Structures are given as C-alpha cells and as structure tokens.
Amino acid sequence: MAPKAAANPMMEKMHKALALQKAGDFAKAQKLYKLVLKKLPDNADANHLYGVSFRQLGDPHSAIKYIEKAIALSPKQGVFYSNLARAHSDIVSSGPEVILENAEKALALNPNIVEAYNLKAIALTKLERPEEAEEVFKFLISRVPNYADANSNYGLLLRDQKRFKEAVEFFDAAVRLDPKNPENYVQRARARLELVEFEACESELEAALKLFPDRDDLSHEMARVLFKMGEALRALPFIETAATAKPSDPHRQVTLGVVYQAIGRFAESVDCFKTAMKLADMNLPTADWNLSLSYFAMGDFENGWRYADARFRDKIASVLCREFDVPEWDGSAIPDKSLMVWTDQGIGDVLRNVSMLKEAQGLSGHLIAEVPVKLQKLVQSNFPGITVRPGKFNHLTKQQEAHDYDLQCCMADLGKYFRRNAGDFKKAEHPYLGFDKGLAREYMARIPNPEGKPIVGISWRSKALATWRARWYLSILQLSPVLRTPDVIFVNLQYAALQKELLWARDALGVEIHDWDDIDLMDDLNAAAALTACVDLVVTANSSVGDLAGALAVPCWRFGSINSVVLMGQQNPPWFSNTTYYRIQPDERSSDIVPRLLVDLENWAKTSTPDERLKRLGL
C-alpha cells in the first residue's frame, strides 16, 4: 500500500477561506487568509484573495494594497488586474483611466474574464467614449446574455444618452436576471420617469417595495413618480421616509421641498430648499428656483425675486435661456439707451408680464419687446410706442442676432423692479390690454342671444396635458353639470378644443357651446381677445385663457392647484382686478370643484346684467 500523502494545512485553510468567501462570509474568510499570509507572506493567491476580501468588506484602499502585492509576485494573472480594476472602481478619486488600464491588462492576459469587459465598458462610459463602451457591452451581453450587471450598466449608458426606451429594456433584463438587487429597480424607475410612463413606474415600484420595504432609495423614487402624477399627498410618506433615512442627500431634500410646496406647506418647503443648498455647497439651482417659488407662494416678493434667476441655471426648469453680448438692465433710468425685453416662458406668463411694459418704457429711451408671433399683433396694438417683434436669436445656440439695443432684460424679471410687493399690483393699470372693438362687435353679432341671456366663455383644460397639469383640469364630461346651467349662453374659449368634445356637449347634453372655425383661439391672440371681450364671465382652468381674460379685466373664475404661480401668496391672482381663484385642495380631485362652480354660476346668472359687457364693447 502506498503511503498516505501528508496534508497541507495552509492549502486547507485557503480552500476553506475561499468557500467562506463564495458563501458571503467575508470577515471569517479574511481571518483565514491572514493566518495563511503569516506563514506564506509571498503567496500571490493568498495576497490576491485577502485583498478581494477587503473590497468585499468596504475597504477598497486596503484591497488595492494586497492585490498590487499579488501582481508584483505573479504579474501574469489576468484575474488579479480585473479585481484591481474593481477595487479602483469603488474609489471616486481613482478615476476611470486607471480602471480602464487594469481592465485592458486583464483581458490581454485572459480574454475570458467576463467582469473585466464590464469594468472596461463602465470606464469608457465615464471617459465619455460612449460608442466604444456600447460596443463592449453588446459584445459582452451577446457572449453572456444572463450577466445581470452588464445589462444594468448598459441600461445606464443608454439612459445617459437619453435612449430611455432601450434603457428600460435592459433594466427589465437586469431585474429578471437578478431580482434580489434593488438597484436594478431604482434605475428602471428613473428611466420610466423620463419616458413619462408613470403608471407602469408606480406599479413596478410598489412591487419592489414589497420585496425591499427598507430600501429608502425606492421610497424616494416612489415619491418622485407620485409627485409627477400630481399626487403630492400620496408622495408625502414616501419622501419623508427617504429624507429621514438619508438627511444629507440634497436631492431628497429638494423632493421633500416640492412635495411640501404642492400641499401648501410653504414654510417647511423653504427650510428643505435651504438645507439642500447647504448640502450642495450652494450649487443646486433647482433648489434655488423652487425656493423662489415658495417665497412667492408665501407673498415674500423680496426673497422670491432674489432667487428667481436660478431658473436659468436649473436644467429641469422649462424656460428659454438666451445668450447676449449686451449687459442685463438693472432697473435704473436709461433715457439715452435702448432696452430689449424678451420672454422665457409660456403665453400665460407673457400675458401677465406685458402689464409692466409701460413702466419699463418710461425708464428707457426706446423699448423693444420680443414676444411670440401669436402675441405680436395684440401687444403692438396696445403699446404703439414700443417696437414689438418676434424673438431675434439663433434657435440652436440661443445667441442674440439683432444688435439694435444697449441693454436687455427678461420680461418676467421686470417684476423685481415694478412688482416688489402686493401694493405695486394694486397700483398697476387695470385693464392693461385692450382689444379690437370692431372685430369684437362682429363676433358679438354672431352669438345667438335674442333673449339677452348672460354669456359665459368656457375653457376646461390647457393644451399641455402633462399628467401633473392634467390633474387640475376637467374633461368636458366632468364639466357637464356646469354646462347644463339654465338660461346661460356658452361660448368656447378653449384653444385646441377637439370637435368631438363640442359635438358631445351638443348631442349628449343638448348644450350648444358656440364655436367658429375662422376664429383661431390657439394662434391668433388678437382674435381670441376680441371674442373674450364678448362674454360676461369667463370660467376656465388655470391656463392662458384666464390670463387673457384678466388682462382685459373681463370677470373670470379660474380653478387650479393651491400653489399656482399666478397667486403670489394672495387670495386671488394679484395681476388682475376681476379674477376669482377657486382652489382645488391637494386631497381633492379636479371634479370636486364642479359643485362649487355650479352653485355660484346659478346664483350669478340670476343677477347678471349685460351692462359691463356692453360698456366694454361700446354698445
């Protein structure tokens, strides 16, 4: 019988440590590797695996020390370089160059190391070499389609390239392949948000939170999607959980702030935005911009204007940020200079801001107003001493193209000089826009009203039907109780109204909402103003229809959220003298406003007279 081979106790310890490491018991494995290294300090494999255990326990610096020692002892082991690259990937200061270098060394020695391809692609992504990174990811996934990390990381690359639909497909694969990794659910949710697939996102996050109820990053994503859906009250417990779990995250503070803002807790939202700014070293424009909105919502005009220009630095804000060769106006008198004012937001914002043109004109030698084409005729007819024209700038670079002015100012920012408190609004001219009376009288003659019934202009939504906006609008079906109000003539002021909506009101309700094909309510604001002047009352959603009515001082009932930017901390929009604002509370649906509107409209109709309308039209 052959003699029994003597056991190698160090190799036994190595095998046991490796088994523990594979089982996830990194601390016990590390202790065994340490014992081996006391006896065999120059064992390359022991140094390598000891280093890997440090990375697995969250100490990448120590990991690098021992893996580099292993490489010095045995420089031809590809897996050593791959794990060195992995350890560097856990250290921000290492940079993608060192990760790429070591991943490529690993693959040069052993082209079958799957993780090295993944690390190489990640490094190329960070080095802004997306085409090369994508080729590596495609190659890797074709070879190892069940590699969850590769699918997830490729999804991140696609999302960064704004290829959100493709990104979701790979995040879906990552979730399927590695359902126990909550990060895959988080990243998929972020891509879904960009696709505005809110319902699917909510459903997937709900399922993920059942699997990982303690993952506060999933709670944060749930809060974000619910907020985007206009469901701030439902978002509140999720963001409070997320912000409490990680109070040092400025982005969670911003999310908490906008949720507080949406439900009317403005003072608390201010605290959140200030906290976020401090956490981000005062470099978080979205916090500044929302801070401005919260201050305005509290009626604090001074601080509202102080932070308002942050909207131009906030990439999330949907504003036009133009580039100029001339300086910004500071509000001082410039009798020898020309001033150009320009618009950065929507039609409703412009309709409010033109209320300050005469004041700006009074301080400048010559005033130029660059406005959307659809407003040009209306604004020019009201301000004959001002040059009114469309915006003259390069639409790609946003750089100015006209050079016939000395100074420039965004029209919205005129408010910091002319609307510094609620009293300034009260002193302002009302109405501040007129209309084409000849055209209005022509339209008036079209409205069949032999019995002299009150005339109500109606609008139930905006053209912009983003979910968070639509939350505060009505459908024509929901508005039907109001449309059934007896002894009232209804005129359509809803721009971009669908013919099927108007036909439904006529056929299903027996209500004629008078509408004319030759009156372009969408793109001819001069015609829209003339028609608006023909009614006794405008009932509208929170849209530019209300702003036009307000500018003309036509009585208007406007409904919307409690934190609408038009309110400026006042009971009713201070821009207008004849507008009443109906608040839809955060715990209400938009349809809950209908009974209030109905009761008020019935009472109004009983006492309404045409006197104000006739005087307005000069009849």
Residue (of 146, 140, 203) closest to 175 by Cα position: 146
Instruction: Tell me how far apart the alpha carbons of residues 583 and 578 are, in angstroms, rounded to a whole number.
Output: 16
Q: pLDDT tens digit string along 78-104? A: 999 999 999 999 998 999 999 999 999
Q: Tokens in use for 164?
A: 């959100």
pLDDT at 6: 43
Q: pLDDT tens digit string along 479-523? A: 999 999 999 999 999 998 788 999 999 999 999 999 999 999 999
- Strand, coil or helix: 474: coil
Is it the case that residue 275 has pLDDT exceeding 70?
Answer: yes
Mean pLDDT (the chain, rounded): 95
Q: Whole-model pTM above 0.75? A: yes
Instruction: Tell me how far apart the alpha carbons of residues 488 and 600 are, in angstroms, rounded to a whole number.
Output: 13
Residue 583: phi and psi, rounded to 5, are -85, 130
pLDDT at 315: 80
- Strand, coil or helix: 367: strand
Q: pLDDT tens digit string along 198-233? A: 999 999 999 999 999 999 999 999 999 999 999 999
Give me the mean pLDDT over the 95-120 stretch.
97
Q: pLDDT tens digit string along 230-257? A: 999 999 999 999 999 999 999 999 999 9
**Residue 381 CB contacts under 8 Å (≥ 6 apart), including other chains:** 434, 436, 526
Q: pLDDT tens digit string along 342-364? A: 999 999 999 999 999 999 999 99
pLDDT at 412: 97
Q: pLDDT tens digit string along 136-165? A: 999 999 999 999 999 999 999 999 999 999
Helix (H), strand (E) at residue 509: helix 499-509
Residue 464 confidence class, pLDDT cut points 50, 70, 90: low
pLDDT at 9: 85
**Residue 595 CB contacts under 8 Å (≥ 6 apart), including other chains:** 481
How many Cα atoms occupy the beta-carbon half-sphere of 542 within 13 Å?
A: 24
Sheet with strand 407-410: strands edge to edge: 387-389, 364-370, 334-342, 407-410
Contact in structure between 320 and 398 (CB atoms under 8 Å): yes
Q: pLDDT tens digit string along 295-336? A: 999 999 999 999 999 999 988 778 999 999 999 999 999 999
Q: Chain centroid to CA 390: how far?
A: 27
pLDDT at 1: 39
CA distances for 357 relative to 148, 384, 606, angstroms: 59, 11, 39
Q: Tokens in use for 569?
A: 């901390």
Is it the case that residue 5 has pLDDT exceeding 50?
Answer: no
Beta strand spans in 225-298 (E): none
CA distances for 267 relative to 250, 258, 261, 587, angstroms: 18, 11, 8, 19
The amino acid present at 282, given as its one-letter code, is M
Helix (H), strand (E) at residue 368: strand 364-370
HEC string for 88-141: HHCCHHHHHHHHHHHHHHHHHHCCCCHHHHHHHHHHHHHCCCHHHHHHHHHHHH
Is it the case that residue 467 has pLDDT exceeding 90?
Answer: no
DSSP string, 290-342: HHHHHHHHTT-HHHHHHHHGGGGT-TTS-----B-SSPBP-S--EEEEEEEEE
